[in-house]
C-alpha cells in the first residue's frame, strides 16, 4: 500500500483483485476507497456456521445442507415448447432429489448447462446453501449454491456469520466479501480516526471504531443471527450513533448553505391558477388546496423554498406538483421534475403534457431520460439550454453534467423515498448559480410521522395531504400462506380469464436487484408453464427500457393479463383496470412498502383485492404486522402502528424509513438516540469543527453519486 496517504483514503485499487476495470464497477456502489469499503455494511447475514439436517428444514430458512443425490431428472413443462425469446420460459427444469439420514429435499434449476447436469447425478455428494421453499408437495431449494464433496472429505464450516452486501451488476458477493476481508486485515485502532467525543464513547460504553467495524462485517459465530439482525449489538449501536451524528451535521451544513442563496420569486394570480385547476377535471380535496396554498406562499418569496410534501399513495400529489410547475411556467422560468424510474417519468410526462397543452396551447413539456441518446438527446438539451421548453420531466438523466438549464426556478422530486439522501442534496447544487438557487419541492408517499420527518428532513419545511379523493373503494386484503399458492394462482387465473388484470409481485431480500429479477423471471416461467391460455408479462429492472415500455404499454392496453414484476422499479404504473395483486413473501417487506405496492390496485371502479402471501411458518409478530396492513387502509395509521410495534425492538431495515442511503441507521427504529445525537453534533460543531468534513465524507460518501436507472 502506498505511503503518504492515510489508510482510509487509499484507493481500493491497492487491494488484491482490483484493477481499473473492477474499480469502475465498484464505483457504481460508491466504493472508491478503503474507507468506503469499511463503511459498506452487510444488509443481512447468512448462517453458514452449521450444517442443518434436511429433516429439520422449514420453508423460509436459509441453510447449509449436505446430502447425497438419490436421483435427478430434467422435466419439461406441459407444452414443452419454447415460448417467445425469454429463456426462462423454455420450459425445462433440472430436478435433483437430495437426502441425508434425516430426510429429503428437491434442488431445482431453471437454468443449467450440460456440465452441471453431469455433475448432479445419482450418488454424488454435495453441500448446498440456499433458501428452502415449498415446492410441489416437497420442500425445495431453487438454484442453490453447491459444492461437490469427495467421499469422506469433511469440509470446514464458516466460523463467523457470512455478510451479504448490497451489490450491483457485475460485482459479485464473493468479490465484496473478499475485499472486506482484505480491508479488515489492514484495519487497526490507529488507522481509522475516531471523531466522536471520547467522553461520549465512555459514557455509552461504545466499543472503539475498528472493533465495531470488525464485528459488523464478521460477527463471530457465537452472536446469533437473530440478535445481530435485531441491530442491538453495541458495535452496531455505535455505528448507528455516528451515522446519525454525521447525517445531522450534514443537514445543518446544507441548511446554512441554502440560506446564503436567493431565489427568484414565482408569483401567480388566483385566476390563472383556478383556470388551470379547471382543466384537471375534478374538485381538489381540502388537503390539496391547503398544500397548494402553502407552496404558492413559499414560491412568492425570494428565499429558496425547501418543502417536503407527504401524501399517501393516491392522495393526488401529482396535481399539486403541476400547480407548482404552473407558477414557474407562468413566470417564464423552467421547472425540472424528477422521477425515480423511466416508467414513472414517462407517466408524469403524459399527465403534465396533457394539462399544460390545454392550459398554454403549446408544447412546453419535454421528457428526458437515460434512453434518449445521440441526436435526440442533443436536441432536447438544446431546448433546455435555450429555454424553449419550460417543463422538463425526467429521471436522474436530468442532473447529469451536460444538462444546462436556462433559468431553472423550481425542482420537483417525485417519490423521494426512491432516491438517496445524497441525490437530494446534490440536486440543490445543480440549479444554483450566482447566489441564486431554485425552489425545491420534495414529494414522498412514505408516511413517517411529523416529528420524525422533522429529524429525517431537518432541512425541509413540511406539508401533508391527509385525505384521499372521495369515492375510493377499500382494497380487500387477505393474508395467506404460500402453502395455498396453487389455490391463489388458480384464483388469479380465473380473474384474468374473466377479463381482469393482475400484478404478481416478486420480492426478495434486497441485497441485489439481480437476484430479485431472477426470482421474477423464475416466477414468470412457472406461471407461463401453468397457464398457456393467459398472456403473462414480465418487467424488471434489468430489462432494456424498450422492452419494459412494450410490456407496460401492453399491460395498460389490456393485452397482458398478468404482470409479474419486482418491487423496486416497476410498480409505479397506473393501470386502473388492474384489480388484483399478489405479493409474495409479504412478510419480508416493510408495512409502508406493502401499503404502497397495494396502492397500485384500487384505482378504478372495480372492487380490488390484494393477497399478502407469506412463507409459513409465520412468527406471531409477523402475523400481527401483516394484519395491520390487512385491517388498515391509511398509510399514516399503518406507519404509526408499525412504529408502535417497532418500539418493542422489531427487526427492521432502513428501506422503509424514507431515508434511503443511510448505511446502518434508521431514524424510526433509532429514534431513541436522536436527543443524544443532537447534543453530540452540537458539541462537535463547537469544539471540533474540523471533524465535520471528514465525518460527513465518511458517511455520506461522494455526494456526486447517482445510481443508474
Ligand atoms: P399520488 O399522490 O400517489 O402521486 P396521484 O397524483 O397519482 O397520486 O393521483 C392518483 C389518482 O387520483 C390520479 O388518477 C389522479 O388523477 C386522481 N386525483 C387526484 N386528485 C384528485 C381529486 N381531488 N379528485 C379525484 N381524483 C383525483
Ligand atoms: Mg405519484
The C-alpha angle 567, 571, 575, rounded to 5 degrees, equals 155
Single residue among 602, 632, 662 that ends a domain in this structure: 632
- What spacing in Å lies between the alpha carbon of 548 and ligand 2's midpoint? 19
pLDDT of 452 reads 64
The neighbouring-strand residues paired with 160 are 220
Give the separation between CA 188 and CA 377, rounded to whole angstroms: 49
Burial of 136 (0-12, 13-18, 19+ CB in 10 A): exposed
pLDDT of 646 reads 60
Give the separation between CA 624 and CA 629, rounded to whole angstroms: 9
Pairing of strands 162-164, 439-444: unpaired
Alpha helices in 369-465 (DSSP H): 374-386, 421-430, 450-456
The neighbouring-strand residues paired with 368 are 394
Q: Decide whether any atom of ligand 1 lies within 6 Å of the 282 Cβ.
A: yes
Decide if 684 contacts 692 (C-beta within 8 A): yes
Do 170 and 287 fall within a single domain? no
pLDDT of 573 reads 73
Single residue among 415, 439, 465 that ends a domain in this structure: 465
Q: Decide whether any atom of ligand 1 lies within 6 Å of the 635 Cβ.
A: no
**Reduced to 3 states, what is the DSSP secondary structure of residue 347?**
helix
Q: Residue 123: which CATH number?
A: 2.40.50.140
Question: Relative to the alpha carbon of 309, which ligand is closest?
Answer: 1
Q: Decide whether any atom of ligand 1 lies within 6 Å of the 43 Cβ.
A: no
Question: Relative to the alpha carbon of 310, which ligand is closest?
Answer: 1
- What spacing in Å lies between the alpha carbon of 344 and ligand 2's midpoint? 8
Q: Which helix (H) or strand (E) holds 253?
A: helix 234-259
Q: Which atom of ligand 1 is nearest to the CA of 576?
A: 14
Decide if 477 contacts 612 (C-beta within 8 A): yes
Beta-carbon neighbour count of residue 385 at 10 Å? 13
Do 25 and 71 fall within a single domain? no
| 705: in domain | no
pLDDT of 74 reads 92
Q: What is the number of domains present in the chain?
A: 4
Phi, psi of 200 (to 5 degrees): -65, -40
Residue nearest to atom 19 of ligand 1 (CA): 316
- What spacing in Å lies between the alpha carbon of 284 and ligand 1's midpoint? 9
Question: For a substitution probing ligand 1, which of 347, 443, 469 has the most ligand atoms within 8 Å of its CB?
Answer: 469
Q: Decide whether any atom of ligand 1 lies within 6 Å of the 284 Cβ.
A: yes
- What spacing in Å lies between the alpha carbon of 414 and ligand 2's midpoint? 7
Domain that holds residue 220: 7-44+162-229
Decide if 461 contacts 295 (C-beta within 8 A): no
Question: For a substitution probing ligand 1, which of 277, 285, 318, 475 has the most ligand atoms within 8 Å of its CB?
Answer: 318
Q: Decide whether any atom of ligand 1 lies within 6 Å of the 604 Cβ.
A: no
Q: Residue 588: which CATH number?
A: 3.40.50.300
Beta-carbon neighbour count of residue 556 at 10 Å? 18
Give the separation between CA 602 and CA 179, rounded to whole angstroms: 46
Question: Relative to the alpha carbon of 351, which ligand is closest?
Answer: 1
Please provide the size of the chain in residues. Answer: 709
Residue with cell 466522536: 196
Do 313 and 373 fall within a single domain? yes
Do 176 and 133 fall within a single domain? no
Do 336 and 458 fall within a single domain? yes
pLDDT of 540 reads 84
| 368: in domain | yes
Question: Relative to the alpha carbon of 417, which ligand is closest?
Answer: 2
Decide if 106 contacts 96 (C-beta within 8 A): yes
Residue with cell 406441459: 78
Residue nearest to atom 15 of ligand 1 (CA): 316
Do 282 and 384 fall within a single domain? yes
Residue nearest to atom 1 of ligand 1 (CA): 314
Question: Relative to the alpha carbon of 277, which ligand is closest?
Answer: 1
Question: Relative to the alpha carbon of 471, which ligand is closest?
Answer: 1
Do 218 and 80 fall within a single domain? no
Do 408 and 293 fall within a single domain? yes
| 658: in domain | no
Q: Decide whether any atom of ligand 1 lies within 6 Å of the 469 Cβ.
A: yes
Question: For a substitution probing ligand 1, which of 289, 316, 348 has the most ligand atoms within 8 Å of its CB?
Answer: 316
| 541: in domain | yes
Do 206 and 351 fall within a single domain? no
Q: Which atom of ligand 1 is nearest to the CA of 599?
A: 3
Q: Decide whether any atom of ligand 1 lies within 6 Å of the 576 Cβ.
A: no
Question: Relative to the alpha carbon of 595, which ligand is closest?
Answer: 1
Residue nearest to atom 25 of ligand 1 (CA): 469
pLDDT of 123 reads 93
Do 316 and 402 fall within a single domain? yes
Sequence-distant contacts of 73-80: CB under 8 A, at least 24 apart: 74/117, 77/528, 77/529, 78/529, 78/532, 79/529, 79/532
Q: Which atom of ligand 1 is nearest to the CA of 414?
A: 4
pTM given for the model: 0.69
pLDDT of 656 reads 41
pLDDT of 50 reads 92
Query: Is omega for the bond preceding 202 within 30 degrees of 0, making it cis?
Result: no
Single residue among 611, 632, 653 that ends a domain in this structure: 632
pLDDT of 83 reads 40
Beta-carbon neighbour count of residue 332 at 10 Å? 11
- What spacing in Å lies between the alpha carbon of 320 and ligand 2's midpoint? 10
| 101: in domain | yes
Residue nearest to atom 5 of ligand 1 (CA): 316
Do 458 and 507 fall within a single domain? no
Phi, psi of 499 (to 5 degrees): 100, 0
| 638: in domain | no
Low-confidence stretches of the chain (pLDDT < 70) are: 1-4, 77-90, 361, 417-433, 447-456, 508-516, 568-572, 643, 646-661, 702-709
Q: Decide whether any atom of ligand 1 lies within 6 Å of the 512 Cβ.
A: no
Q: CA of 333: how far to CAs of 364, 380, 410, 512, in Å?
A: 11, 17, 8, 40
Residue nearest to atom 24 of ligand 1 (CA): 469
- What spacing in Å lies between the alpha carbon of 339 and ligand 2's midpoint? 9
- What spacing in Å lies between the alpha carbon of 513 and ligand 2's midpoint? 22
Do 482 and 578 fall within a single domain? yes
pLDDT of 568 reads 59
pLDDT of 422 reads 60
| 423: in domain | yes
Q: Decide whether any atom of ligand 1 lies within 6 Å of the 316 Cβ.
A: yes
Give the separation between CA 705 and CA 702, rounded to whole angstroms: 6
- What spacing in Å lies between the alpha carbon of 393 and ligand 1's midpoint? 18
| 509: in domain | yes
Q: Which helix (H) or strand (E) holds 311?
A: strand 306-311
Residue nearest to atom 17 of ligand 1 (CA): 316
- What spacing in Å lies between the alpha carbon of 388 and ligand 1's midpoint? 29
Q: Decide whether any atom of ligand 1 lies within 6 Å of the 317 Cβ.
A: yes
Amino acid at each position: 500500500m502506498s505511503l503518504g496517504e492515510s489508510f482510509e483514503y487509499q484507493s481500493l485499487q491497492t487491494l488484491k483483485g482490483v484493477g481499473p476495470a473492477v474499480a469502475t464497477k465498484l464505483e457504481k456502489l460508491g466504493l472508491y476507497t478503503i474507507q468506503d469499503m469499511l463503511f459498506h455494511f452487510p444488509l443481512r447475514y447468512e448462517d453458514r456456521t452449521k450444517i442443518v439436517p434436511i429433516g429439520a428444514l422449514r420453508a423460509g430458512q436459509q441453510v447449509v445442507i449436505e446430502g447425497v443425490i438419490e436421483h435427478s431428472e430434467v422435466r419439461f413443462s406441459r407444452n414443452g415448447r419454447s415460448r417467445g425469446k425469454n429463456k426462462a420460459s423454455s420450459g425445462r427444469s433440472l430436478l435433483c432429489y437430495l437426502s441425508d439420514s434425516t430426510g429429503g429435499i428437491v434442488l431445482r434449476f431453471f437454468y443449467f448447462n450440460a456440465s452441471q447436469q453431469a455433475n448432479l447425478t445419482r450418488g454424488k455428494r454435495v453441500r448446498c446453501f440456499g433458501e428452502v421453499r415449498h415446492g410441489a408437495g416437497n420442500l425445495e431449494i431453487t438454484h442453490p449454491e453447491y459444492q461437490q464433496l469427495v467421499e469422506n472429505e469433511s469440509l470446514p464450516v464458516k466460523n463467523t456469520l457470512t455478510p451479504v452486501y448490497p451489490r450491483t451488476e457485475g460485482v459479485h458477493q464473493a468479490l465484496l466479501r473478499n475485499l472486506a476481508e482484505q480491508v479488515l486485515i489492514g484495519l487497526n485502532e490507529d488507522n481509522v480516526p475516531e471523531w466522536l467525543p471520547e467522553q461520549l464513547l465512555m459514557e455509552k460504553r461504545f466499543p472503539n471504531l475498528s472493533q465495531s467495524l470488525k464485528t459488523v462485517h464478521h460477527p463471530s459465530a457465537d452472536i446469533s443471527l437473530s440478535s445481530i439482525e435485531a441491530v442491538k449489538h453495541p458495535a452496531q449501536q455505535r455505528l448507528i450513533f455516528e451515522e446519525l451524528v454525521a447525517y445531522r451535521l450534514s443537514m445543518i451544513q446544507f441548511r446554512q448553505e441554502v440560506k446564503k442563496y436567493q431565489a427568484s420569486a414565482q408569483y401567480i394570480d388566483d385566476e390563472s391558477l383556478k383556470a388551470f385547476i379547471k382543466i384537471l377535471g375534478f374538485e381538489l380535496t381540502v388537503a390539496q388546496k391547503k398544500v397548494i396554498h402553502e407552496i404558492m406562499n413559499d414560491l412568492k418569496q425570494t428565499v429558496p423554498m425547501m418543502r417536503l410534501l407527504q401524501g399517501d399513495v393516491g392522495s393526488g400529489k401529482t396535481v399539486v406538483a403541476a400547480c407548482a410547475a404552473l407558477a414557474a411556467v407562468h413566470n417564464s422560468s423552467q421547472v425540472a421534475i424528477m422521477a425515480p424510474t423511466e416508467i414513472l417519468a414517462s407517466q408524469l410526462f403524459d399527465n403534465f403534457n396533457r394539462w399544460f397543452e390545454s392550459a398554454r396551447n403549446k408544447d412546453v413539456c419535454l421528457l428526458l431520460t437515460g434512453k434518449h441518446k445521440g441526436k435526440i438527446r442533443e436536441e432536447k438539451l438544446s431546448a433546455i439550454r435555450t429555454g424553449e421548453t419550460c417543463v422538463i420531466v425526467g429521471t436522474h438523466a436530468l442532473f447529469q453534467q451536460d444538462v444546462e438549464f436556462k433559468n431553472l426556478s423550481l425542482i420537483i422530486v417525485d417519490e423521494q423515498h426512491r432516491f438517496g439522501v445524497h441525490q437530494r442534496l446534490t440536486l440543490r447544487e445543480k440549479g444554483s448559480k450566482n447566489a441564486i438557487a431554485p425552489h425545491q419541492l420534495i414529494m414522498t408517499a412514505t408516511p413517517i410521522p411529523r416529528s420524525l420527518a422533522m429529524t429525517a428532513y431537518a432541512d425541509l419545511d413540511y406539508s401533508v395531504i391527509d385525505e384521499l379523493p372521495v369515492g375510493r373503494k377499500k382494497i380487500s386484503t387477505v393474508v395467506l400462506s404460500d402453502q395455498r399458492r396453487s389455490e391463489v394462482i388458480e384464483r388469479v387465473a380465473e380473474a384474468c380469464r374473466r377479463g381482469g388484470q393482475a400484478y404478481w409481485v416478486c420480492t426478495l431480500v434486497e441485497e441485489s436487484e439481480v437476484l430479485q429479477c431472477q426470482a421474477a423471471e423464475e416466477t414468470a416461467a412457472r406461471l407461463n408453464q401453468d397457464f398457456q391460455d393467459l398472456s403473462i408479462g414480465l418487467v424488471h429492472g434489468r430489462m432494456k427500457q424498450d422492452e419494459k415500455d412494450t410490456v407496460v404499454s401492453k399491460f395498460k392496453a389490456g393485452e397482458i393479463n398478468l404482470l409479474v414484476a419486482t418491487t423496486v422499479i416497476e410498480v409505479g404504473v397506473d393501470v386502473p383496470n388492474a384489480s388484483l395483486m399478489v405479493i409474495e413473501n409479504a412478510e419480508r417487506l416493510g408495512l409502508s412498502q406493502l401499503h404502497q405496492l397495494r396502492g397500485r390496485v384500487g384505482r378504478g371502479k372495480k372492487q380490488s383485492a390484494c393477497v399478502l402471501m407469506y412463507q409459513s411458518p409465520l412468527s406471531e409478530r409477523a402475523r400481527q404486522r401483516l394484519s395491520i396492513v390487512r385491517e388498515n387502509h391509511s398509510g399514516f395509521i399503518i406507519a404509526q402502528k408499525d412504529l408502535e410495534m417497532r418500539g418493542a425492538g422489531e427487526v427492521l431495515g432502513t428501506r422503509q424509513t424514507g431515508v434511503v442511503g443511510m448505511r446502518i441507521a434508521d431514524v424510526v427504529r433509532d429514534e431513541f438516540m436522536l436527543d443524544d445525537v443532537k447534543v453530540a453534533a452540537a458539541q462537535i460543531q463547537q469544539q471540533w469543527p474540523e471533524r465535520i468534513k471528514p465525518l460527513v465524507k465518511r458517511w455520506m460518501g461522494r455526494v456526486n453519486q447517482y445510481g443508474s436507472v
